[in-house]
Structure 1
């Protein structure tokens, strides 16, 4: 993720505070998502039978893809049901939740990645 999927990274900066409503993914972002879904599907089919993660048990591969799961969530990007299940596993994972909680302690004024879109609550947030 640190050097791949450039279109996704450029169009969808890190966002753990809320979700954007109405974000429209470019073809380049959609192409990145298709490649990501192919990689996820291959890993799950070959090695993921023992759990919800790419290789069954939680691994560094899942750490690597946590920012992708975050982007899919925050920008409400369309993915397959299989990929959405993997994203949902991240959203309920204690390590991911701790990462998000720590990130929420930082406040940026002005907000650096403003879009002309409405905001909605992050999944599971009650406020």
Structure 2
């Protein structure tokens, strides 16, 4: 285990505020999948929607707008007929790469733990039934 850290209320409040800010920007079911999906390069709205499968157009529009407001996504409008609109990641969006990597690693570890725990529970139940 890690060493116990001594905290003061100012540092704790600053830490909580920083975490709130991060969660405000990245929270929800779709923000991180959108960022990961746009890593391949610019995509049109319908391409993004097809890639994320279950997202509704209304929610996708809202999420893209929020990511744009927080400097993660650039919306480009091209003067074509019909008008073409693409969305792409900003260089700033790469700052969440370590967070995404850590979440991916932790998520895989957590899933393995839960699956193993359920296997163990099932084995114990089967042993009790046989006895």
Do both share a fold (TM > 0.5)? no
Q: Specify which structure has the higher proportion of strand.
A: 2
- Which structure's relative contact order is higher, taking Cα pairs within 8 Å and 6+ residues apart? 1
Normalized against structure 2, the TM-score is what?
A: 0.30
Q: Specify which structure has the higher proportion of helix.
A: 2
Give 1 or 2 for the bigger CA radius of gyration: 2
Normalized against structure 1, the TM-score is what?
A: 0.30
